[in-house]
Amino acid sequence: MSTVASGVVAGVPHAHGQWSGRLAFILAAAGSAVGLGNIWKFPYITGENGGGAFVLVYLGCIVLIGVPLLMTEVMLGRRSGQSPINTFATLAKREGRSRRWGALGWLHTLAAFLILSFYSVIAGWAVAYVPQAMSGAFAGADAAQVGALFDGLLGAPEQLLVWHTVFMLLTVLVAAGGVRAGLERAVKWLMPALLVLLLVMVAYGFTTGGFGAAAAFLFWPDFSKLSTAGVLTALGHAFFTLSLASATMVAYGSYLPKSVSIPRSALIIALMDTVVALLAGLAIFPIVFANGLEAGAGPGLVFQTLPLAFGQMPLGTLIGTLFFILLVFAAWTSSISLLESTVEWLEEKGFGRKAAAVTGGLAAWTVGLASLLSLNLWAGVHPLGMFETFADKTVFDLLDYVTANLMMPLAGLLTAVFAGWVLSRRVSEAELGAGVGYRLWRFLVRFVAPVGVVLIFVYNLG
């Protein structure tokens, strides 16, 4: 209860509770940012796009677009002190602008909700792989056997259902505890644990003999290997990995005490996210190169390529188990953030914290069933099959496409426009602090971010 009663800041009552301080906020936001995107997706898209040059462009996108938008979202949340759904409507009203900006809050939250529905299914694979790795299922397996294991999992709806349910329960469990007793307490354990596990993996990478090749692959830019499509992939991933344009950072910002510096926190969060992605690369690619595996193996890199290596290396059962636990932890701190915007809004509708967490989680779990089934029983169902672009897309593919390629770019673009052009300078300056940094932020948010996002958008549609 004390969290609920605590602090009235700048005249805004915090009905939902607040982070205990800067560290708690940074860990929670970094926990949101660090997820499947860093450990599963970043290595494989880097592999597919030829390494160093892609990494360099990705870092540029983080700095020029990701960080300013991260500051923006946290700032908007803190300013309103409300759920993302109500944030945009409230701030627009205060500016004497159209209440229609409220739709942007819905767009953000709907994106988060839909992402959560299938994020939980993928995270379920990682959960499933923990007991697999532990039982020594990869030991001595060849590529065909490891592939069969993965296909077998995706082809078995009842198994997927178990793991999807387990993962969503973990998410709801934390969410139900509230901002401090739930979210904060979980991230304070999980984030350091994640870092330790990752460092163990990197240390292992050192011993494989593939470390030099991995470092060269990640850090030696060869621009002849980078395509235009690769540049845009880097831009899109900068968004996804920082949890932008989908309510998360707005919701987390709404719990942020006034005394905490947003620019400084955002820089630290982005730095942590980037360091983890690079460490994940330094953990995974030595194993890939030392075992003569294919860096450009695609989405199966973590679930098919790596188990192959775990099955052959000394201590493979232990390292493999640690790796998938790491993946689960990373996904967990992200999924609680994906649920938070829905929970916060339900609380504003009068739900208690626990009821809000259960209701939001149950709803996302239910929608997730459609993604789960489209991996097997509904694999042949193509709801938008009449359109050429969507001809062979399952429900899962469509949700992924609609959120990543349509909703997030649109929400990101409108959010930058809202903060840069609609919100008065007085407000953003009060939140971010005046100075050179502020002017740089304003320039990036008004011009660079919108142009960058329009580029991804147009490219992805084409």
Exposed/middle/buried for residue 316 (C-beta within 10 Å: 0-12, 13-18, 19+): buried
Nearer to ligand TRP, 32 or 305 (CB): 32
Report CA-CA distances (Å) from 408 to 62, 244, 258, 459: 16, 8, 28, 14
Question: Which amino acid is present at 340?
Answer: E
Question: Which amino acid is present at 370?
Answer: A
CB of 334 to ligand TRP, least distance (A): 4
Residues facing residue 8 across a β-bridge: 13
Exposed/middle/buried for residue 223 (C-beta within 10 Å: 0-12, 13-18, 19+): exposed
Stretch that binds ligand TRP, among 241-249, 293-301, 346-354, 394-402 (CB under 6 A): 241-249
Q: Is 241 in the site for ligand TRP (CB under 6 A)?
A: yes
Structure tokens at 161: 């259902």
Q: How many residues bind ligand TRP (CB under 6 A)?
A: 16
Structure tokens at 107: 């767009």
CB of 39 to ligand TRP, least distance (A): 8
Dist. CA 27–CA 20, nearest whole Å: 11
Nearer to ligand TRP, 141 or 404 (CB): 404
Site string for ligand TRP, 7-46 (x = CB under 6 A): -------------------------xx-xxxx--------
Q: Centre a 10 Å sphere on the Cβ of residue 402 and count the other Cβ atoms it contains.
A: 17
Site for ligand TRP in 359-398 (CB under 6 A): none
Q: Is 305 in the site for ligand TRP (CB under 6 A)?
A: no
Stretch that binds ligand TRP, among 17-25, 102-110, 333-341, 375-383 (CB under 6 A): 333-341
Nearer to ligand TRP, 277 or 293 (CB): 277
Nearer to ligand TRP, 26 or 149 (CB): 26
CA 53 to chain centre: 23
Out of 26, 28, 112, 190, which residue is the one contacting ligand TRP (CB under 6 A)? 112
CB of 105 to ligand TRP, least distance (A): 15
Q: Is 334 in the site for ligand TRP (CB under 6 A)?
A: yes
Q: Is 248 in the site for ligand TRP (CB under 6 A)?
A: yes
Nearer to ligand TRP, 57 or 238 (CB): 238
Buried b (16+ CB within 10 A) or exposed e, 425-444: eebbeebbeeeeebeebbeb
Out of 18, 82, 243, 371, which residue is the one contacting ligand TRP (CB under 6 A)? 243
Q: Is 115 in the site for ligand TRP (CB under 6 A)?
A: yes
Q: Centre a 10 Å sphere on the Cβ of residue 349 and count the other Cβ atoms it contains.
A: 10
Dist. CA 281–CA 52, nearest whole Å: 11
CB of 107 to ligand TRP, least distance (A): 12
Residues facing residue 9 across a β-bridge: 12
Nearer to ligand TRP, 66 or 307 (CB): 66
CA 335 to chain centre: 8
Nearer to ligand TRP, 125 or 378 (CB): 125
Q: Centre a 10 Å sphere on the Cβ of residue 175 and count the other Cβ atoms it contains.
A: 27
Nearer to ligand TRP, 117 or 246 (CB): 246
Residue sitting closest to ligand TRP (CB): 37
CB of 347 to ligand TRP, least distance (A): 19
Structure tokens at 444: 């990036």
Kind plus residue range of the DSSP H or E element containing 245: none
Dist. CA 268–CA 248, nearest whole Å: 17
- What is the contact surface with ligand TRP in residues (CB under 6 A)? 32-33, 35-38, 112, 115, 240-241, 243, 246, 248, 334, 337-338
